[in-house]
């Protein structure tokens, strides 16, 4: 019998987002901190899927009988040839971990002078769902938008530097503005991670019922 769901992250923003959506579907999420687990999983893969799978493989042996959900997200900016891709936190040199503020500033500097019509970008999230038997299932979500010329720090969310920059024209809102709405008021405005989670919900329910 499967005993619950561990979301393998220490990112507080991700915990809030995933807990809210799965809680809305009457599923409780347990975090590594809840279980006293402290694992640092290096993101050395060359794809989002490789990194998400690595996190699941690291946590599954620590939580016998539970499902493990992990993800990795990347941002591809058209005008920058798809950068930063999967290296958002180490965008500048591929090694040094950057703060949210540093990422925002670096992005704006690189995109100085690029007109709005050429500031298209997309978020990609890959979820990996690990089963107690070791099998891993993969779910994906994508969201298109544009990078604004100035950040709106009133909607900044710790752990998600681009929430203050990533504007979705069909919503006429920043992703950070939508993230602050009650889930019942989103009216279909789901971000990349939520799209992947929505696909995963029926499978999770099937496994833990």
pLDDT of 172 reads 95
Higher per-residue confidence, 129 vs 1: 129
Mean pLDDT for 46-74 is 94
pLDDT of 47 reads 95
- Percent of the chain, pLDDT > 70? 99
Most confident listed range (16-20, 137-141, 191-195): 137-141
Q: Which domains does the chain have, with CATH numbers?
A: 5-208 (3.90.950.10)
- Residue 129 reports pLDDT greater than 80: yes
Q: For 133-190, what is each residue's pLDDT tens digit?
A: 999 999 999 999 999 999 998 998 888 899 999 999 999 999 999 988 887 788 789 8
pLDDT of 209 reads 67
Mean pLDDT for 199-206 is 92
Provide the mean pLDDT of the chain: 92
Mean pLDDT for 187-204 is 91
pLDDT of 1 reads 65
Given pLDDT bands bounded at 50, 70 and 90, which one contains residue 192?
A: very high
Q: For 86-115, what is each residue's pLDDT tens digit?
A: 999 999 998 899 999 999 999 999 999 999
72 catalytic? Reply is yes
pLDDT of 123 reads 97
Nearest to 151 by CA among 124, 176, 125: 176
pLDDT of 157 reads 85
Mean pLDDT for 121-134 is 96
pLDDT of 185 reads 81
Dihedral sign of CA atoms 168, 174, 196, 39 in order: positive
Instruction: Spot the catalytic one: 34, 71, 72, 78.
Output: 72
Backbone φ and ψ of 128, nearest 5°: -120, 125
- Residue 11 reports pLDDT greater than 90: no
């Amino acid at each position: 019998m499967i005993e619950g769901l561990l979301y393998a992250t220490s990112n507080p923003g991700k915990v809030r987002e995933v807990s809210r959506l799965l809680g809305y579907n009457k599923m409780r999420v347990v975090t590594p901190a809840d279980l006293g687990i402290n694992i640092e999983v290096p993101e050395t893969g060359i794809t989002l899927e490789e990194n998400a799978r690595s996190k699941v493989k690291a946590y599954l042996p620590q939580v016998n009988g539970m499902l493990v959900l992990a993800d990795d997200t990347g941002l591809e900016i058209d005008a920058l040839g798809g950068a930063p891709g999967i290296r958002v936190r180490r965008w500048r040199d591929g090694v040094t971990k950057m703060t949210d503020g540093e990422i925002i500033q670096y992005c704006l500097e690189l995109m100085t002078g690029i007109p709005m019509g050429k500031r298209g970008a997309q978020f990609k999230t890959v979820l990996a769902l690990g089963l107690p038997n070791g099998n891993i299932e993969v779910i994906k979500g994508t969201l298109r938008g544009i990078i604004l010329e100035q950040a709106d720090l009133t909607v900044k969310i710790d752990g998600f530097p681009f929430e203050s920059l990533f504007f979705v024209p069909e919503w006429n809102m920043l992703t950070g503005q939508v993230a602050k709405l009650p889930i019942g008021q989103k009216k279909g405005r789901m971000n990349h991670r939520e799209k992947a989670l929505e696909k995963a919900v029926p499978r999770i329910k099937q496994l833990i019922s």
